[in-house]
Amino acid sequence: MLVSTTLCYRDPSFESSMVIGYAGMLLAFSFVFVGIKNYRDKYNGGTITFLQALKVGGLIALVSSTIYVGVWLIDYYFFVPDFMDHYVLHVIEEARKEGASQAEINKQVAEMDDYRNMYKTPLGVILMTYLEPLPVGILVTLVSALILKRNRPEASAVIA
């Protein structure tokens, strides 16, 4: 995350930092799959229902997201307190480049002002930041739970 934030100040388009950020999230959320599989195979007799897998994966995703939010809080408050100003300028500039009308740009400015106001309190920063990793974590959890659910132990695990 620190690398992607640093890149956003060198690349005003935010593209490289966004790619690195989401790639890092996917890498971190790969532990959801590993965690569900490990729980199923080592602690649950080789079986796990979809709901159990959802609970295990959801907790792992929540912990990962909380770590992400904690790191961002440190990063934001100590290293890039003007991040939101840079981001707002980027969004407005992108709207102009895409040929948005002045009314659309004004609407975008009002929306970004709402986000900027939310970023004025730590709770707002926390809530807004959870919106980045948590949807990815939920998606990875759903897919992992579907892939790893097993209601009966494998034949090799059955003792005669």
Average pLDDT value for residue range 120-140: 95
What is the per-residue pLDDT for 17? 74
Question: In the prediction, which pLDDT does 18 show?
Answer: 78
pLDDT of residue 9: 57
- What letters, b where the CB count within 10 A reaches 16 and e where it falls short, cover 46-82? eebeeebbbbbbbebbbebbeebbeebeebbeeebee
The whole-model pTM stands at 0.82
d(CA 144, CA 98): 37
Which tokens hold the place of 34? 């590993």
Using one digit for the tens of pLDDT, what is the confidence trace for 41-100? 999 999 999 999 999 999 999 999 999 999 999 999 998 899 898 888 888 998 999 998
The one-letter amino acid at 98: E
The contacts of residue 94 (CB under 8 Å, 6+ apart) are: none
Q: What integer pLDDT is reported at residue 25 of this predicted model?
A: 87
User: What is the Cα–Cα distance from 108 to 118, expressed in whole angstroms?
Assistant: 15
Phi and psi dihedrals of 149, rounded to 5?
-60, 135
Q: What is the mean pLDDT of residues 117-134?
A: 95
Task: Express each pLDDT in 3-38 by its tens digit.
Answer: 555 655 566 667 777 788 888 888 889 999 999 999
Q: What is the CA radius of gyration of the chain?
A: 20
